[in-house]
Every structure is written in C-alpha cells, then in structure tokens.
C-alpha cells in the first residue's frame, strides 16, 4: 500500500475585477468551508503587500477569520514572511491562536518580504538584515515556543509549550538545506517557482536530520489547479491566470480579469518561456485530465502533500474546481491503496 497524499489550499485572496476586498475575503471563508467539507487538510494564507489585487496581507487576522468559522481544518500561514516581523510578536500571535483553536494552527515561515523593495523598507527598515538572518530568526521563534524558555529574561508566555508546527517555505535550494538541517517539514512554492523544485526536494531528502519534531522528511509542493466539466471551459478559466502572470512580468498588475476564449494570442503568451516556466505545474482540464496530470506530478516528485492554488475569476467556478479536485485526490489515493 502506497502512502496517502494529503491535499490542501494556499489562499492569496486575489481580487477579481468588479469585486471588493470585503467580498473577496468573504469568498475566502466560503472556500475554506468548502475545503473543510471536502477533507482538505489545511488552508493557508499567503502574505503579500502593496497590491491592489491581493487581499492576504494581514495573514494572522485572516487565520482568525477562517478558524473561527470552521471547526476541523488546519489553518495557518503560507507563509509569514519573517523578514517583515519580530519573532517575539509572531510567537505571541501564533501562541494566542493555538490557545483559541487547539491543534489546528500551522506556522509556515518564509524568507522573502512578499513585496517590492521600497515597501519592504517601509515595513521594516532592516529587512535585508532580517532576510539574511532567517535561520537565526527561526531559532528565536523556536526558543519562544520552547517550554525551557519559562526562565528566560525575554519571554512569550502564551506561546510556551504550545502545539504550533513550524514549516519552512521556499522557492530556492537555500530553504531546502535549512529545512533539512533543522528537521522541519518543507513546502516548496512550485505553483510559480518551478526551476528548482526537483533539486530542492533532493537536497532536503538527502540532507534531512531527524529532530524532536520529525524522524523523516515531509514535503509539500504547490500547484495550480483549474477543473471544469469540459477542457474548453477549463482553458477559458485559465485565461485569467495567464493574464495575471503576464501582468506580474510586465509590471502591469491589476485585478483578476474575467475569462475569455483561449485565443492564439493568449496561447502564444502562455508558451512564452517566462510565462510557461512559471506556470509549468498548472493542471487544467476535466477531472480525468487533471487526475492524469496530478498522478504524473506525484510520481515524479514523491511529495507527501499537494497545496493547491486556484486562481479562478468566479467563486462558484472556484468552488466547483475545489470539489472536483478533492474527488481527484480521493480517487488517486484509492487507486494507490488497491495496488
């Protein structure tokens, strides 16, 4: 019997054209409730700043919003960008969350600021120093969560000896070395940073050192998923994501655009080397088509969990895609159990 692969959601709260931030955040909660009903393992919020089209900036607050209105699904950060924050404050925030929602809170930590350089300087003037100090900043958080810190001069008492798993997030090989050395679970941002996925997974597994937290490696990979009743409809929905990435690459970001027909021009944009590379791990089509793509990816990577980004303009289409992907994962795990 092969291992059962978990499935989760990474939420950026992307604003669709014509929607408000309030509507977008309400849709995020609605999707989390659908995810819980369909046995997704966790629902993580990303951290982004200075974007009129992304609502996931106050990550800790959004975790509260979803955790308070769900009952079982794990909720957390994918991730807290540690270069923006004081480790003590993060320990206090997530320690508080763990008391409010026991055994449901995850703390994913990333090195990058999640924004442009000018904004990063406004958030924290020494953000470059903090980014270079990422390993020691994580150690500070671990220290504040430790039971042994109860005699320390600087404490986060609400965080001491609480159950908040820490995950290392990354989009390069640097994070793989760090996660392996610390014996922590590792999540790779392959939903947009595809170049180093296989190398990072190999480094992490080869260098993994058992810790008090884990005795063997645990890997999570990000993928883009869009499922519809027909391939044509899925491709149509995919045009919104293609336009979004084009906007990112050209510095012309805007709210998520309504889907259109998949024209030759959009096909050309998708196959442009830069766009195509970033969207390499995008599984688009009917349920059967996406199942084949997902199985191939799992066989190639051997990851323990998939975390899904579903950048879809209409919330009802997004809910349907989320429900169908849960069926895909159930079938894949059933197929593997039978073998």
Quote the pTM value: 0.96
Kindly report, residue by residue over 99-148, the tens digit of the pLDDT: 999 999 999 999 988 888 888 888 888 878 878 899 999 999 999 999 99
Domain presence at residue 1: no
Mean pLDDT of 271-287: 95
Q: For the segment 190-225, what is each residue's pLDDT rounded down to a tens digit?
A: 999 999 999 999 999 999 999 999 999 999 999 999
SS (H, E, C) the chain: CCCCCEEEEEECCECECCCCHHHHHHHHHHHHHHHHHCCCCEEEECCCCCCCCECCCCHHHHHHHHHHCCCCCEEEEEEEEHHHCCHHHHHHHHHHHHHHCCCCEEEEEECCCCCCHHHHHHHCCCHHHHHHCHHHHHHHHHHHHCHHHHHCCCCCHHHCCCCCCEEEEECCHHHHHHHHHHCCCEEECCCCCCCCHHHHHHHHHHHCCCCCCCCCCCEEEEEEEEECCCHHHHHHHHHHHHHHHHHHHHCCCCCECCCCCCCHHHHHHHHCHHHHHHCCCEEEECHHHHHHHHHHHHHHHCCCEEEEECCCCCHHHHHHHHHHHHHHHHHHHHHHHHC
* Structural domain containing residue 279: 6-338
Domain-embedded: residue 84:
yes
CATH number at residue 309: 3.20.20.30
Give the count of domains, the chain.
1
């Amino acid at each position: 019997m092969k291992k059962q692969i978990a499935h989760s959601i990474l939420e950026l709260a992307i604003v669709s054209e014509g929607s408000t931030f309030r509507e977008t955040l309400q849709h995020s909660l609605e999707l989390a409730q659908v995810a819980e009903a369909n046995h997704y393992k966790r629902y993580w919020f990303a951290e982004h700043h200075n974007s009129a089209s992304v609502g996931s900036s106050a990550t800790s607050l959004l975790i509260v919003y979803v955790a308070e209105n769900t009952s079982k699904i794990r909720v957390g950060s994918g991730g807290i960008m540690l270069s923006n924050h004081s480790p003590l404050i993060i320990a206090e925030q997530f320690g508080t969350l763990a008391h409010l929602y026991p055994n449901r809170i995850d703390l994913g930590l990333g090195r990058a600021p999640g924004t442009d350089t000018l904004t990063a300087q406004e958030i924290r003037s020494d953000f470059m120093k903090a980014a270079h100090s990422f390993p020691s900043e994580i150690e500070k958080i671990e220290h504040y969560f430790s039971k042994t810190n109860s005699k320390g001069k600087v404490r986060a008492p609400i965080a001491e000896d609480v159950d908040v798993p820490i995950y290392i997030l990354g989009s390069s090989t640097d994070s793989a070395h760090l996660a392996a050395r610390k014996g922590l679970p590792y999540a790779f941002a392959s939903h947009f940073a595809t170049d180093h996925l296989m190398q990072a997974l190999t480094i992490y597994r080869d260098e993994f050192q058992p810790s008090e937290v884990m005795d063997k490696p645990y890997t999570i990979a990000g993928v883009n998923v869009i499922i519809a009743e027909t391939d044509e409809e899925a491709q149509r929905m995919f045009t919104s994501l293609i336009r979004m990435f084009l906007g990112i690459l050209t510095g012309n970001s805007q709210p998520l655009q309504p889907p259109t027909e998949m024209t030759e021009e959009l096909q050309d944009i998708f196959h442009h080397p830069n766009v195509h590379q970033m969207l390499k791990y995008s599984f688009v089509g009917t349920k059967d088509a996406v199942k084949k793509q997902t199985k191939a990816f799992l066989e190639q990577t051997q990851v323990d969990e998939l975390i899904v980004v579903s950048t879809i303009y209409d919330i009802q289409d997004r809910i349907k895609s989320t429900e169908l992907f849960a069926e895909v994962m159930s079938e894949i795990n059933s197929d593997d159990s039978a073998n």
